[in-house]
Amino acid sequence: MSTETILIMGANGQIGLELAENLRGIYGENNVISADIKDLKNPAGIYEQLDVMDKDRMYEVIKKYKVTQVYLLAALLSATAEQKPKSAWNLNMEGLFNVLDAAKDGIIKKVYWPSSIAVFGPTTPMENTPQYTVMEPNTIYGISKQAGERFCEYYHQKYGVDVRSIRYPGLIGYKSAPGGGTTDYAVHIYHEALKTGTYECFLSEHTALPMMYMPDAIRATIELMDAPAEKVKIRSSYNLGGISFDPSQIAAEIKKHIPDFTITYKPDFRQAIADSWPKSIEDTRAREDWGWNPKYDLASMTQDMLDNLK
Ligand code: SER
């Protein structure tokens, strides 16, 4: 029997849905609790309606199930956060404080919190961005992730909180839909390619960004959470490289499978967000510290995405 009980908050989101499925496979149906702000009629497993900003309710759920690990995935992403700066800041920070406090108060043992390539900004070196570098994010989302990283490290150093984090690149998967991000085009493009044979991209042709296929991202997350504490030397957040490509490159890859596929470009406000982020990420620390090794490239991801979406 598993000695861990896991609570996933923001479990209905792009990462949460896939992570919950994987964690249930590892820890068993009864040891993974999904929670989200929405009330679900037919949840896939044990489910609680929970607003991460409601600390009392969060503590109640943690105690009810004797939760040992929390994955906090509830957040507003980059594009949405630019539209609602105040509520994005409040949600992204308040939820994190409540979870870090639960660990500090000793009612949970381990915390996972996702950071993002959005912690970097226009003054950051854009190619092979290193773990430690200039970080001046200029989006609300990036500012909240940067501040969050500082708090994670602080809670670890001051209070010994076992918090672990990855700076996710754009995440691409077929099982769940992204929402409100700048990298979402790289998911939409596959759906539209199959459905209509054409896609209008909200980023320009040569906007390269770091991306990752969901199976790699989920595996990285679980491997980091499983690593012995002494191997997790970075308690702000780990760089993770993945695959770097621009819209023209993913379109060319899709054309190998769907020869008539066409793409047009109509950049909107998300272009400026993308322009402030790195084009590629250097991740030797994750490789050295806990053995990270990605499996998918653009070709194998595209093959798998199209096979599964068909
Ligand atoms: N994929 C996210 C976004 O585009 C970045 O973490 O907002």
At 215-241, the pLDDT tens digits run: 999 999 999 999 999 999 999 999 999
Task: Give the helix/strand (H/E) hosting 166.
Answer: strand 166-168
Q: Is 162:109 a contact under the CB 8 Å cutoff?
A: yes
Query: Atom 6 of ligand 1 has which residue's CA nearest to it?
Result: 116
The verdict on the CB of residue 118 being under 6 Å from ligand 1 is yes
Give me the amino acid identity at 108.
Answer: I
Banded pLDDT at 41 (limits 50, 70, 90): confident
- Residue 76 phi/psi, 5-degree rounding, is -95, 135
Q: How many A from CA of 30 to the centre of ligand 1?
A: 31
Tell whether the model's pLDDT for residue 252 goes beyond 90: yes
The DSSP 8-state label assigned to residue 63 in this structure reads H
Q: pLDDT band at 1, cuts 50/70/90?
A: low
Closest atom of ligand 1 to CA, residue 145:
6
What pLDDT, on the 0 to 100 scale, is given for residue 102?
98
Q: The whole model's pTM is what? A: 0.97
Task: Say how many Å lie between the first and final Cα of the chain, rounded.
Answer: 38
Q: What confidence tens digit (pLDDT) does each residue in 111-130 have? A: 999 999 999 999 999 999 99
Mean pLDDT estimate for the chain? 97
- pLDDT reported for residue 202: 98
Q: How high is the pLDDT of residue 96? A: 98
Q: Copy the structure tokens of residue 156.
A: 């670890």
The 10s digit of each residue's pLDDT in 46-103 is 999 999 999 999 999 999 999 999 999 999 999 999 999 999 999 999 999 999 999 9
* Distance between CA atoms of residues 228 and 106, nearest Å: 19
Greatest CA separation found in the chain? 58
Q: Which atom of ligand 1 is nearest to the CA of 184?
A: 4
168 touches ligand 1 (CB under 6 Å): yes
The tens digit of pLDDT for each residue in 270-284 reads 999 999 999 999 999
Residue 23's DSSP bridge partners are none
Q: Catalytic positions, please?
A: 141
CA of 182 to the centre of ligand 1 (A): 5
Give residue 180 CA to ligand 1 midpoint distance, Å: 8
Contact 246, 183 (CB under 8 A): no
Is the CB of residue 78 below 6 angstroms from any atom belonging to ligand 1? yes
Q: Using alpha carbons, select from 269, 279, 274, 250 the residue that is nearest to residue 192.
A: 250
**Which atom of ligand 1 lies at the shortest distance from residue 171's CA?**
1
Cα–Cα distances in angstroms (integers) from residue 112 to residues 143, 183, 216, 238, in the given order: 19, 22, 16, 12
Is the pLDDT score of 2 beyond 90? no
73: left (phi over 0), alpha (psi -120 to 50) or beta: alpha
Neighbours of 174 (CB within 10 A): 18
